[in-house]
C-alpha cells in the first residue's frame, strides 16, 4: 500500500509541537528522567506532544520497563523479552513526581504477559509510593488488560487511583489486524469490572482514528464504552511510527473530531478530549478537572 500523504494542516500542527522540544525546560525534564533512570511513554511511543508536555513539566511515566510482550502493529514500543520488575522503581517515580511539583501524575505500563499478575502488584506499589511521598497528588494509571485477571485489577484499584484508564485503541472490527494478542470484549470487561469494583473511581478509555474505521463504527464504539459506564474518552489521529507499522488509511479533518466530541458528550461522557494530536494521557489533569466540574478548567483539549 502506498503511503498516504500527510495533509499540510497536520504537518504544520506537528511542526508547532516539535518546536517546543528546543526549550530549556524540556532539556531539564529529560535530564531529570535520565537522572532517575525512568521511562516515559512520551519517548517510547514517539508522542508528538513531548515538547508541549515536557515544557510544562508533565510526562507519562512508563512503569515496568519499555519492552512489551505483544506486538501491536500501531505501537512504537518495542516487542522484546522484558526485564524483571525493578524493586527501586516505585520510590524513583515518587521522587520524580515530588521533584517536578506535579499535582496530577499519569502512569502507564507495557503489557507484561510474562508476569503472573500482569505486573499489577508492582504497578500498585508505584501508586502507593506516590501517595506516600505526595499525598495530595491525583494519580491516573493507564493499564494493560492484565490478561483479563480480575484479582490483578483489584490489586491496582486497592492502591486508590483517582482515574482508572484502559485504552480500547480502535474499533473491534480492526482488532485482528491492528491489536495482536488483544481482545475487544476483554478490554470492555476490564473497564466494566473496574467501575463495579470501585464505583467512585472515574474510568477512562481512548482510541485512534485513521486506521480504516467508519464513522458509524466510531459512534458504535463510543456507545459500547458508555454501556460499561466509562466516564472519560480520548480520540486522536493514528500516526504510523515507521513504514513497518500499520499504514495510515485516512486523516480526518478537524471538524470530524468536534462532531465526535459533541456526540460523545450527548450520550453521557463526563469529559472528552478529541483532536488530531490528542493522546490518551494528553492534559489528563485538565480532563479530570472537567469531569469533576472544577471551576476555571479549560473547555477544550482538542
Taking only the tens of pLDDT, the chain with its 302 residues reads 568 999 999 988 877 766 666 666 666 666 777 776 666 655 555 566 665 666 665 668 889 988 888 877 777 677 778 889 999 999 999 998 998 888 899 999 988 999 999 999 999 999 999 999 999 999 999 999 999 999 999 999 999 999 999 999 999 999 999 998 899 999 999 999 999 999 999 999 999 999 999 999 999 999 999 999 999 999 999 998 788 889 999 999 999 999 999 999 999 999 999 999 998 888 899 999 999 985 333 333 44
Write down the pTM of the prediction: 0.88
Considering the domain boundaries, does residue 297 fall inside one? no
278 CB-near residues (< 8 Å, 6+ apart): 234, 235, 236, 257, 301, 302
Residue 244 lies in a domain: yes
Domain holding 217: CATH number? 3.20.20.70
Q: Domain for residue 232, yes or no?
A: yes
User: How many domains are contained in the chain?
Assistant: 1
| 175 belongs to a structural domain | yes
List residues bridging with 106 in a β-sheet: 60, 140
| 261-297 confidence digits (pLDDT tens) | 999 999 999 999 999 999 888 889 999 999 998 533 3
Does 191 reside within a domain?
yes
State residue 78's pLDDT score.
Answer: 72
pLDDT score, position 297:
36
pLDDT at residue number 76: 67
Q: What's the pLDDT score for residue 240?
A: 87
| 3 state SS of 68 | strand
In a domain, 273, yes or no: yes
Whether 23 maps to a domain, the answer reads yes
Please tell me the distance from the alpha carbon of residue 137 to that of residue 79, in angstroms, as a whole number: 32
Q: Using an 8 Å Cβ cutoff, are 173 and 217 in contact?
A: yes
pLDDT at 80: 78
Given its phi and psi angles, is residue 11 left (phi above 0), alpha (psi -120 to 50 degrees) or beta? Answer: alpha
Q: Domain of 63?
A: 8-292
Residue 120, in any domain of the structure: yes
Locus of grid cell 515530588: 98
The pLDDT score that the predictor gives to residue 221 is: 98
Amino acid at each position: 500500500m502506498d503511503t498516504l500523504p500527510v495533509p499540510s494542516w497536520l504537518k504544520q500542527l506537528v511542526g508547532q509541537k516539535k518546536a517546543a522540544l528546543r526549550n530549556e525546560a524540556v532539556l531539564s525534564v529529560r535530564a531529570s528522567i535520565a537522572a532517575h533512570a525512568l521511562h516515559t511513554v512520551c519517548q517510547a511511543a514517539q508522542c508528538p506532544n513531548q515538547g508541549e508536555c515536557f515544557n510544562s513539566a508533565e510526562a507519562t511515566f512508563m512503569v515496568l520497563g519499555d519492552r512489551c510482550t505483544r506486538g501491536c502493529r500501531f505501537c512504537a514500543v518495542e516487542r522484546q523479552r522484558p526485564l524483571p520488575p525493578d524493586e527501586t522503581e516505585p520510590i524513583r517515580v515518587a521522587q520524580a513526581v515530588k521533584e517536578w511539583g506535579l499535582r496530577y501524575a499519569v502512569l502507564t505500563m507495557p503489557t507484561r504477559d510474562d508476569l503472573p499478575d500482569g505486573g499489577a502488584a508492582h504497578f500498585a506499589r508505584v501508586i502507593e509510593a506516590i501517595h506516600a511521598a505526595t499525598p495530595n497528588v491525583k494519580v491516573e494509571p493507564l493499564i494493560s488488560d492484565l490478561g483479563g485477571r480480575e484479582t490483578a485489577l483489584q490489586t491496582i484499584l486497592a492502591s486508590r487511583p483517582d482515574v482508572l484508564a484502559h485504552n480500547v485503541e480502535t474499533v473491534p472490527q480492526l482488532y485482528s489486524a491492528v491489536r495482536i494478542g488483544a481482545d475487544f470484549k476483554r478490554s470492555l470487561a476490564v473497564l466494566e469490572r473496574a467501575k463495579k469494583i470501585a464505583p467512585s473511581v472515574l474510568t477512562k478509555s481512548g482510541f485512534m482514528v485513521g486506521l480504516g474505521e467508519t464513522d458509524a463504527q466510531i459512534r458504535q464504539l463510543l456507545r459500547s464504552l458508555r454501556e460499561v459506564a466509562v466516564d472519560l474518552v480520548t480520540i486522536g489521529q493514528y500516526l504510523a511510527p515507521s513504514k513497518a507499522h500499520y499504514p495510515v488509511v485516512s486523516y480526518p479533518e478537524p471538524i470530524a473530531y468536534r462532531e465526535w466530541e459533541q456526540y460523545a458528550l450527548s450520550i453521557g461522557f463526563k469529559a472528552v478530549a478529541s483532536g488530531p494530536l490528542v493522546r490518551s494521557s494528553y492534559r489528563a489533569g485538565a480532563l479530570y478537572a472537567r469531569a469533576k466540574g472544577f471551576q476555571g478548567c479549560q473547555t477544550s483539549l482538542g
